[in-house]
Structure 1
């Protein structure tokens, strides 16, 4: 498929104009970033892995009636997705204490939470994606209270699906983040859909038996090869691309 006009480039993906109105082409890059872009490396094959893994999860959600922007995978690095009106929030679902929550509340990393907890962050890299309460979200018009209720319900359904899939291959879903968008479809009210991606970039994944980290914390904390970790997740789920091996090496970004 011929490359079309670039509309947006983020840290991990590029969005291009789609072949039909209301569609986009989402391209997965090999770059990995941490600390709001302060730490950067290129991991050859990372984009291929995340493309295949996100396809796997989005297709699974579509099949169980959780709407997503995903239409189909086009090639090893690109997918065709629906263009949506993005809500400027990161929706975080936590099953175990880890990362910023553990540090913020003084909890032991890995401690189970009483129930799945949904948090919201305002999506703005310049501000470090700050945690925001629902009162801020409704006051500033980022989403209505009904939107928030629907987003929480959507996020918890995604959590149930992902937790079951990962548990089946010996992986603990510690937490994850999704982004949500609106599709109007000539309706008076929009349909909320899961957008962006679902991959080890956006999940915190630990091996159930050993506690080994299989997500971007490997890169954040210098725990080994990021590509090896992502390859292991893809291998267990049966979606490993044939041209990826665990021996691929990182390249520093200047």
Structure 2
């Protein structure tokens, strides 16, 4: 087997050099982390589920005209993606109060927000990804005012689409994060959605029971993380019950 050149390794994914110029192979690991890697565990199968769920999300976003780095899935753990220059800012959308906004503003978890709120966080693990303003982003050259406008516009579209998508399967999209990358084509540059969209980076609650179906199950020691991710995939149609026998459990649907 030829050894692939590793470009980057993060907490949950590895990027390898792609087979063609301008491409990368994104490998999803089974690592689960929280609190800036202070809490860590290996959870078998998490990478497979996140790969498939993220594939589903990006494919649907592309279908409505939102550009992403996703090209195609290669296998159960890997995707072929476009190589981009990552903007060092995470864009977080909050629809319902949960997580850090509750601590910062004294809100009770589950409080509906007056409207969807967009926040920015500087991508720096050593600083615990601090919250920043548009002034910080432009002053330090992390993104231009036009790029900020583009990120906000695309994020709002993604939020509208995903909120409706999840609502249709009985899940409330509480909040989520997006990352963006610059794709260069000669003298042209455009922003596209990159990284992943999965329960690792979203808060997803069952509408009826308020059960958490995301990484908060790991953060808060609620258990059954894989079962929660499987439930999300099942509702989206990525998982189906194996009709060969109940003992074999759900299986991943093969996509074209």
Interval of TM-score (by shorter of Structure 1 and Structure 2): over 0.9
Q: Where does structure 2 lack aligned partners over 5 or more consecutive residues? A: 243-247, 251-256
2:16 corresponds to 1:16: yes
Equivalence for 2:95: 95
Equivalence for 1:43: 43
What SS class does the counterpart of residue 41 from structure 1 fall into? strand
Equivalence for 2:151: 151
1:230-241 to 2 correspondences below 5 Å? 230-240=229-239
Equivalence for 2:193: 194
- TM-score, length basis structure 1: 0.93
When the two chains are superposed, the root-mean-square deviation of aligned CA atoms in Å is 1.6
Higher RCO structure (Cα 8 Å, ≥6 apart): 1
Equivalence for 1:112: 112
Question: Alpha-carbon deviation of 1:3?
Answer: 5.1
Alpha-carbon spacing, 1:142–1:41, altered in 2? closer, same or farther (3 Å): same
Equivalence for 1:208: 207
What SS class does the counterpart of residue 218 from structure 2 fall into? helix
Q: What do the CA deviations read for 1:123-169 (whole angstroms, capped 9, x no partner)?
A: 01110000001100000000011110110001011101110110000
Separation in 1, partners of 2:66, 2:185: 17
Equivalence for 2:65: 65
Equivalence for 1:249: none
Separation in 2, partners of 1:30, 1:169: 26
Separation in 1, partners of 2:93, 2:111: 15
Separation in 1, partners of 2:17, 2:121: 28
Separation in 1, partners of 2:3, 2:209: 43
Equivalence for 1:250: none
Q: Where does structure 1 lack aligned partners over 5 or more consecutive residues? A: 247-254
What SS class does the counterpart of residue 239 from structure 2 fall into? coil
Alpha-carbon spacing, 1:3–1:68, altered in 2? closer, same or farther (3 Å): farther
